[in-house]
Amino acid sequence: MSDTLYLSLWYPNLRLAALAEKLTAVLGAFAAHGGENRVYSATVWPVSWSETPVFQKVYGRMGSAPDGDPGAEPELAVEEALESLHEDYAYEFQVGWSLWELEDGAPEPAQAGKVTGRWARGPRLVRITGYGPLFDEGAYEQDGHIRIDFGSDTPFLQEGADLGQVGARHVEENVRQLIDLAAGVEKASGATARLLWSELGESLAQRLAERLGMRN
């Protein structure tokens, strides 16, 4: 069963005014680890996730616009979103991040667990959220001052599936890219604590380590 994968980052004694610098650093680190160097969209949420956004702007994807460069530089996107800086706001950005994934892959009825389909590398949208200290009753304490939502963990685990040599290599590359990105955003933004976790709360680190060793 697929799960949602997150990376949480914390900073010591972080002041709200310094959140923009941290977000810009995290967004900027994606380009060095399989991501796009421009931001797709920015959304500002007041008070909690159940409220209507007070700001939303879609800049577009790289290569999707015929005139000029689509997407926004991280610094510009952060500046526009954080123009209205409040302790009970959350600031969400989306950026493209490329992974190996199966196209039209599905288990064959006669061979349960056997993965079929063509592997292709393409971008998915990843959400990066910076939390004000009072947003959603202090959600940052659990979720991090900055949280990265990678979406489904399927590209990293493919548990219970017979991947074959090619599929196993692609999943391993995805896991290594994930680990490198986690280290990269931590270093670039000066985080003092990070946690890679999933909604189901199982031993994610052990499961990822097992996937790294699956071809050994």
Mean pLDDT value across the chain: 87
Question: pTM of the entire structure?
Answer: 0.88
Phi, then psi, of 23 in degrees rounded to 5? -65, -45
Residue 32 in tokens: 């060095």
Phi, then psi, of 80 in degrees rounded to 5? -70, -45
Residue 43 in tokens: 């959304």
DSSP letter at 52? P
CB atoms within 10 A of CB 205: 12
Give me the pLDDT at residue 167, please: 85
Cα 151–Cα 3–Cα 47 angle in degrees, nearest 5: 60
- Average of pLDDT values for 50-63? 88
Question: How far, in Å, CA of 216 to CA of 211, rounded?
Answer: 10
User: How sure is the predictor about 11, in pLDDT bands with cuts at 50, 70 and 90?
Assistant: very high
At residue 130, what is the residue type? G
Q: Please, how many CA atoms are within 13 Å of residue 20, restricted to the half-sphere of its CB?
A: 13
10-24, 55-69, 127-141, 145-159: the lowest-pLDDT one: 55-69
76 Cβ contact list (under 8 Å, min separation 6): none
